[in-house]
Structure 1
Amino acid sequence: MSYYQTKDVTNPSFVFNEETNVLMITDINYKREAGFTIDFTLPFTYKFWTTTNSLIFVKSKVEDDTALLHPSKPYLYYYSNNTFKLPKDFSFVFSFWGTTKQNDGIFERKANFVVDMSLAKTFGKNWSCNLNYNDIFKATSYTDTFTVNNVHSKFKYLVDANEISIAVRYSFGKIKDSEYKQKSVNESESRIR
């Protein structure tokens, strides 16, 4: 469980210039943000399956004199990472994360849900190869709605996180223990009693 309070928090804003008739998006410092989180994390292993699951309850409130404030509502962030050990040094990872609808006083954000997968194979002690597939359903997008400086804004960020990648790794082994030996720099150190 944690509580936080931040002054001059940075978030996006729209500024309208009436002389040039131009609407510009820019990051500005809002007055403050405060909130609390409750985090439940459950890792466990059962036979060939290892999983880590997190549920984080969040209630935050962003405030600024230039913004229209709405009642702040709690939301949920969830994350699950599932690793399955397969025969012949293969492993399969299925993970997902998401958030429920958010309202932190100024910003209203839609829910989000993203799924990733990977397949890994180790060769001997030092080599491994991973095949990754991120954002399988091309779902990474963020929609914000807010009113700042008398401008009502609704925009959508599309994130192109959908990718297939291959990684080959070589491990050089463990790092040796340090053989640091303390040396005295102060010659009069042993004389003090």
Structure 2
Amino acid sequence: MPLAASDAPVSLLARKNGSMSQSNAQAEVQHVQPSVGSIAAHRPHTVSATVSDLEPDLDADLDAYEEVPVDGAAQLPQGRFLDRERSWLAFNERVLELAEDPNTPLLERANFLAIFASNLDEFFMVRVAGLKRRIATGVATRSASGLQPREVLEMIWARSRELMARHAACYHEDVAPALAEEGIHLVRWNELQEKEQARLFTLFRHQIFPVLT
């Protein structure tokens, strides 16, 4: 009794039609839908990539990006993203504004001036040094904000000079005189006695210098 097509074993269909060869079976396996949560499920264009292509680049610049044509992208402004360095300087400016505010308690104003200066020092040691290193090594990729590293560096110079001038004016013209009226004076090194200089030198040599980076 002949078997219906739906009842025929797969092996018989394979021999009869000659269409389910080993190569075709492998092709079907390759086109299986990726599992949920896999890289291929979220990045279909990387399915055919090699394993090395999927390795994360630990040295990649977090600000760098690759422009990919997208429908309607031409309508988006070039500077639609905020620059990270400019945003950080704006944050430190708000710290300076607290020091400039006459309603802030006097000692807090002095403290905010110190915080501003410390923040700016660290910013130049880390962020500005990184920008200069990228320029020196030729890794001058445009950031998501649309600026080249040299453009960011020029912006930092201009903005920092303005903020440092405000910082100096706030201290010399406002905070320092107010502290003097309250009997608080900053003593210069040459105004210290010899024993005081020796004590401070020992303190710096044994407790401060070892932890400096």
**Alignment TM-score, normalising by the size of structure 1:** 0.19
More strand per residue: 1 or 2? 1
**Alignment TM-score, normalising by the size of structure 2:** 0.18
More helix per residue: 1 or 2? 2
Q: Which has the larger radius of gyration?
A: 2
Q: Which has the higher contact order (CA 8 A, sep 6+)?
A: 2
